[in-house]
Structure 1
Amino acid sequence: MFTRTRFVTHRLSHVAGRKFGSSYSQIPKLSSLQEFQEQILDSKNGVKVIDFYATWCGPCKAMTPHISKMMQEYPSVDFYKVDVDQAMDVARSCDISAMPTFMLVKDGRITSKVVGANPAALENGIKDTL
């Protein structure tokens, strides 16, 4: 049963990646606390969404097509991603304890977080932050 579940999940994410992956793959990846500070907190212009994810996380993969769609619907919003396994210092400093977690930032100030794979909550968070 577990093997089949993994196969189905892998297959669905592979299909989603082909259809929507190009937008998501273009999201800048933040790899260090210094980079996060410079790009997100020190930048005082606009709305930013940071996707804290893990490569092994099924719900994170399920959010990929939704994020790609939001990138097209909200072109004024800058999207970034942080792999929590590669940038543990960033995840720790932002108190990330579950994946996916989406942090919304406006003009260098953290406005809210959306924890879990909840496309509606993320979109509402973006609308409220704009």
Structure 2
Amino acid sequence: MGNCLHKGNCNDGDSDHHVDFASGNVQIITTLESWNQNIERAKKDSKIVIANFSATWCGPCKMIAPYFSDLSQKHSSIMFLLIDVDELADFSTSWDIKATPTFFFLKDGNEFDRLVGANKSELEKKIAALTDVVPH
């Protein structure tokens, strides 16, 4: 499991390596308006939201990004959002992000769980628990 605590602490030295952080059914959130629209749509559709607060310079974030995208394709009953902590710094600060990646699990716009770090097995367990109760 890896965490990046701040820029420069966790650069994997491969800054030229491009990782597609938002493929599959992952929605990139670049504005507060976009966040609000997606949260409202999730409420209307009774979807759980998993918000991945991440950073392009973070090695563990790069490692888990393709897995997060794969999960988004497998679990269409869940909305997957990606927020770059540098691009939306003030917004990210309001969520008290201490390390990247941090995954927030939301229902009706409210946090009910979180996972800090690029822990694939724990992320999968949390999603499996959700899909037991969320209709497909």
Q: Give the AA of the match of 2:77.
A: S
Q: For residues 25 and 109 of structure 1, do their structure 2 counterparts lie closer, same or farther at Cα, with a shift above 3 Å needed?
A: same
2:106/2:112 contact within 8 Å kept: yes
Partner of 1:47: 48
1:33/1:89 contact within 8 Å kept: no
Q: 1:6 aligns with which of 6, 13, 33?
A: 13
The structure that is helix-richer by fraction is 1
Q: CA RMSD in A?
A: 2.6
Tell me, which stretches of 5 or more residues in structure 2 are unaligned?
1-11
Partner of 1:95: 96
Map 1:16-31 onto structure 2 (within 5 A). 17=19, 21=20, 24=23, 27-31=26-30
Tell me, which stretches of 5 or more residues in structure 1 are unaligned?
none
Map 1:105-120 onto structure 2 (within 5 A). 105-120=106-121
Q: For residues 22 and 57 of structure 1, do their structure 2 counterparts lie closer, same or farther at Cα, with a shift above 3 Å needed?
A: closer
TM-score, normalised via structure 2 length: 0.72
Any idea what the Cα deviations from partners look like across 1:28-79, whole Å, max 9, x if unmatched? 2212334324422785221111111111000000002211221122111111
For the residue of structure 2 that corresponds to 1:6, the secondary structure is coil
Q: State how far apart, in whole Å, the 2-side matches of 1:74 and 1:42 are.
A: 17
Partner of 1:35: 34
- Displacement of 1:96 after TM fit? 0.7
TM-score, normalised via structure 1 length: 0.75
Stretch deviating more after TM superposition (36-45 or 53-62) = 36-45
2:42/2:49 contact within 8 Å kept: no
For the residue of structure 1 that corresponds to 2:106, the secondary structure is strand
